[in-house]
Structure 1
């Protein structure tokens, strides 16, 4: 099983992995495809074990959540990467300037080397194997730091990856904060971190000492703007699945909803109605995922209790709403919290959903723009002019119109944040280029006109060059 927890072991293995990469710095396409094919087979073979392990780590993790949000996206990503890898690896021919017209210019894509991947607890398979797919497609080796909050899943993942990769190709690292800080301080050739904005800042500082390029996949408060031209039935239908996936413990989950004031109560009634259809038994529903651990449950409970104590209207979506012993909670709609309250300042990352009424679209836009740029932005509207305005004037990492969350599953499009929600991106071709070095290669032949620039007197080449300056 390719796993380790010792800091000294980790440092030693990092060095050995870099040495192994130097012995084979440009794996062939056949070698990369073979690894991806075997990784896909392993994911499918170990899917039951992964579901059981994640259920153990969470207390209860919906099998549907694990299959649909952890395993299936990785399988689809592998298929797409294999289909496109030949195109991605092909040199890109570029056009030289007039000065260098006799030369040939191309951009080749070299593997960066050893990639570090830091994985959170909410989707430990998708957020470890997903980046790994891009790293392997680009020809790299990888060390994966897993969360200490998913020990059972970490063990299954380590065993699964050991069935596919040699120990100097991919390794799983476990450990708490001390191991994490030492991991991010290693001289990786690229580091990808998924987690909170606060920890992302620490990761970037640690990587800076080694000038390690960093991709940060963070979070933030992803808003939903519900316009006045859509029915509340449709708006709720498109929001509720994204908010219920993993019980809201998703970096792109809808974090708060802005709805026309006159339709606010209709939205709340419709949300509760649809929720009770999806989760018939409330917290006892088999398909409802638990809040991952007691620490997260206490954090969510604190946000909720603060609003209750402040007298804010709170609407549980089911009367069987809480099981503290099993850290289970149904979605609670928090109606009109103060914009300065903690629930409107912190990323919720759980089953609480603030609902805020607005009188006109300008007010809704102003609320979104008053907060840091989010990882995702959602608009429920069929008004083409409004769609154009929102998608072009409000910044966010990504966006869905009349949908939410599932842009994350698009293989042929980049995923990433902006500002406090992250930097850089991966998935698809962007994943390949993130983990590759784009190297410009200029090849010149026996004849080279540049020497004519340095000859005394005038000549045709000098005249042509000076003509570019209007001389």
Structure 2
């Protein structure tokens, strides 16, 4: 497959219809919904095969449902999003008119990761299609069965006039990122994200980066501990921790650490009574499995205390039972790198001030999670820390809200998508000023007169 030829073909299709009508865009979204509904079973199975085991419930909850919900929400609001926005005009330029028109950018490139290969392909694809663009997607080589079948289905349902899906290893990804797209969205690691941005810069391609980082969680001492631990572990252990938004480390008040240990064990055992056979997801590849084991071994070697939450640390295939880590130090890899697995360092604290200072001394995270009903505590964290997004009194659920923009900040990414923000990301906001037949600006034409000088003085006030 020649990537440049694929891109040029899509650019030619865009040139034939540079502003698709609402009816066409809705038709494309309906085709995506049909793809999902008709193929849910086989796509779920393909992801399961690639992971060696992926909980079917998690695929339905975290990939199928939000994709369908995104399509439904987009269809309901697309007409309003497409309508030109009227803007006010200064009194000195009236009765002229001003507006903003949202125009398709052209061909959008999307680089899809392996951890949620369906949702993280469809999420940006929905926004790009709704905005009227053609799209090229590069799927992950770490989900080969899913990636191949998804490519076939996209071409079958949407057609190659609208979408082209390519597969291949790192060399294909590198070549893909160098193509002169009209916009590119990348989801993945910060290391690869930097390389994508460097490659895109040669073409001045605007880039949206959805990266990750170490998202902190804080449990305020006054918040019900059992509720906090349940919600924390649901978010952390979804997809076995292989979520860019997963809580990466947690601050627990020093007086609650022992209760936290007890509750974490009980709740995890209740969540996954048969984890070896069902419900609990495996790490997606041997590469991820080996990386996780290296992080854990590094922590143990440097003195971390390991608390198994399912009685053992022994893997079953690529299923790794969750653990808590205590007494971790800054020189451990688990405190430096995003974990991306079912391991959670616990950090004791006494005062929120020290927690805020710690968070602010590290790269800005993709998410922050705070369990607190104390208004002052909540306000302090909201005003004094910066993160891509926040869920209060739960974890990860802000990503499921279609009316909220999703994106990182600093090392955790740049730009936003989802809902209207996604539509705008993949659109060019074109400013339009329409002069009236009778325009007062003529009074400012040279040469300067006493009247124009007097008017200019008024205008400056």
Q: TM-score, normalised by structure 2?
A: 0.98
Alignment of 1:52-451 (within 5 A): 52-282=45-275, 284-323=276-315, 326-451=317-442
CA RMSD of aligned residues (A): 1.3
User: 1:279·1:285 contact (CA, 8 Å) conserved in 2?
Assistant: no
- Give, in whole Å, the separation in 1 of the partners of 2:268 and 2:448: 83
State how far apart, in whole Å, the 1-side matches of 2:449 and 2:212 are. Answer: 61
What TM-score, normalized by structure 1, do the two folds share?
0.96
2:247 aligns to what SS in structure 1? coil
User: Following the alignment from structure 2 to structure 1, what is the Cα–Cα distance between the partners of residues 449 and 347?
Assistant: 74
**1:394 to partner: Cα distance:** 0.3
Cα contact 1:449–1:461 (8 A) shared by 2: no
Q: Is the CA contact 2:184–2:205 (under 8 Å) kept in the aligned structure 1?
A: yes
Q: Return 5+ residue gaps in structure 2 as ranges.
A: none
CA contact (8 A) 1:452 1:462 kept: no
Structure 1: 5+ residue stretches without partners: 1-5
Question: CA-to-partner distance for each residue in 1:335-394, whole Å, 9 max, x for gaps?
Answer: 120023110010001111000101211121122112100000000110011111111210
User: What is the distance in 2 between the residues matched to 1:165 and 1:178?
Assistant: 27
In 2: Cα distance, 1:231 partner to 1:365 partner: 21
Find the aligned partners of 1:192 and 1:343 in 2 and give their Cα distance: 28
Number of equivalenced pairs: 461
| Paired residues for 1:450-465 under 5 Å | 450-456=441-447, 458=449, 462-465=453-456
Q: Is the 8 A contact 1:145 1:174 kept in 2?
A: yes
Deviation of 1:285 (Å):
4.0
- How far off is 1:310 after superposition? 2.1
Residue matched to 1:3: none
Further displaced range: 453-462 or 164-173 = 453-462
